[in-house]
Amino acid sequence: MKMQLLSAGEYHEKTSYFRNRISPHHLDFDAYPLAFKPYETLEKIKLPTKFPQQDRPLSTLFSSCPGKGRLDITALSHILFLAYGVTAFKHSQSIPVLNRTLPSAGGLYPCHLYVAISGIEGLETGVYYFDPIHFCLGRLHGTYAPRDVDTVCFMVTASFYTSAWKYRERAFRYMLLDTGHLVENLELALGLYDVGHTLFYDFEDRAISDFLQLDPSLEVPLVCVSSGRDRNVSAMGLAKKPGEPADPSSASSCLTDRTRPVQYEILSQIHSLGSIVKQERPFPLPEITEKKGLGSVAVPMETQPMEGGQGFVDSVLLRRSRRNFVQDTLAIRTWSALLNTLFCSLSFDASRPAARALDFLSMGMICQNLEKLDDGCYFFSGNPSKMQLMEKGRFAGAFAGICLNQEWIKAAGINFLFMANLEELEKAFGPRGYRYVMFNAGRIAQRIYLAAQGLGLGCCGVGALYDGEAKALLGLNRTSVLLYAVAAGPIKKTRGHEI
């Protein structure tokens, strides 16, 4: 009998890892997913690659409120590059390995970036696919008529197969987290050009899917970011169904030539379950644990840009996942600067449910060797300058075991934790709330990556974990889960460079 998912919590539970119970999975490298969509019949427009030498300190960009900047083709090209570009190509056993401006679970990059353009000189009004590998735009169609003619709308989608190739049923988790990383890079890049914008987690999935001519069994729209003045997604001119036929080469979204995708029914189900945007219902902020803390600790506020700290552009270009942590003491000024990145408010249109869903994402850390701070597990409260010491001691070793025995996690100075009470979340927002917390976790994680890079620290996302064991270690209540972790801290340096 076909299983029908009833909640996002159930999806999370059904895709949990349990020690000694992960079924073996052969990675078929002959069917390795492509990192871009070929769109063979489309006209390709090469993007300019000479960018202005401009940068801004991360700390100011994190807290800035972009304004009246205007996009031209060079700025657009730079923004696309910073958001989702390729910084180096390599090959490993005939598999292309790309260094990109953001991390991705398994290095698979399931997301795609489309842009609907109006009012940019040199680019015809229409909807384009951004091909990050060949650094060009492919024009899908011209049916785009926003109310404000200067609207440029970015749309992030993700392909099931790309991530499921490795992660199978668990892939939707990574598609959402990866989307959060990408959206944050995009936002910061728009901020670099002072381009005001609005983020949409809520829209009619089907309308955007039709607009982009997607095959929804293969690829789904997840977030829209509009630089126009209109605050309403339906005013952005995206909801029209173009009459033109789709390019057949796009339907095979990221598949290698010779394969049809293995499809996991649960992935389409969890996506469709969240397709309805529910009117948010007021709920008190959820608890994630019954445990009482051992006392509250003030987080020093670090408002000055760090001396020698890199700007956004440098950080994005040099960013890598670094796992060679060493157990050096982290100066108070450095760790507080890093923690402050968690508390800089993410930009939203505050009237939207997605903004309020931020309160449903709980954060914490397992830390060691931080100057003037007890080793232990801390949960951050709603008040950005305070955290609760939940338990004193060194837990990084136990945490590494929980993260599928990834030994390098043991030495990380900080393991950031992203948690949520899924039952309460769904009572407030319905199953779509799962997307909100995962996007937000990915967005904050991207900030941690960039801030760590800027501060000369290492950083690496951790999605592989035994879910039940994580819950037990952190003392989470029955309905709460650990969604994602990010390790950060001092790393080994060789000849002035991290390895």
Ligand X SMILES: Cc1cc2nc3c(=O)[nH]c(=O)nc-3n(C[C@H](O)[C@H](O)[C@H](O)COP(=O)(O)O)c2cc1C
Name the residues that contact ligand X, by CB under 6 A: 99-100, 103-107, 174, 177-178, 181, 320-321, 323, 406, 460-464
Half-sphere exposure at residue 430, Cβ-oriented, CA atoms within 13 angstroms: 14
Residue 397 identity: G
Measured from the CB atom, the residue of 137 and 450 that comes closer to ligand X is 450
Min dist. Cβ of residue 164 to ligand X (A): 14
Min dist. Cβ of residue 260 to ligand X (A): 26
Measured from the CB atom, the residue of 42 and 483 that comes closer to ligand X is 483
Min dist. Cβ of residue 405 to ligand X (A): 11
Residue nearest ligand X, CB atom distance: 103
Min dist. Cβ of residue 165 to ligand X (A): 14
User: Which residue is listed with tokens 């407030």?
Assistant: 428
Residue 91 identity: H
Which two three-digit tokens encode residue 73?
A: 């083709």
Selection from 7, 16, 18, 288 nearest residue 173 by Cα: 16
Measured from the CB atom, the residue of 185 and 213 that comes closer to ligand X is 185
Which two three-digit tokens encode residue 256?
A: 């290698």
Q: What angle do CA 435, 20, 416 make, to 5 degrees?
A: 40
* CA–CA dist 236, 4 (Å, integer): 34
* CA–CA dist 238, 209 (Å, integer): 10
Min dist. Cβ of residue 296 to ligand X (A): 30
Measured from the CB atom, the residue of 347 and 415 that comes closer to ligand X is 415
CB 127 within 8 Å of CB 211: yes
Measured from the CB atom, the residue of 299 and 491 that comes closer to ligand X is 491
Min dist. Cβ of residue 442 to ligand X (A): 7
DSSP string for 218-270: TEEEEEEEE-SS---GGGGT--PPP-SPPPHHHHTTT--TT-PPP--HHHHHH
3-state SS, residue 434 = helix
* CA–CA dist 98, 139 (Å, integer): 24
Measured from the CB atom, the residue of 367 and 448 that comes closer to ligand X is 448
Measured from the CB atom, the residue of 227 and 415 that comes closer to ligand X is 415
Min dist. Cβ of residue 36 to ligand X (A): 16
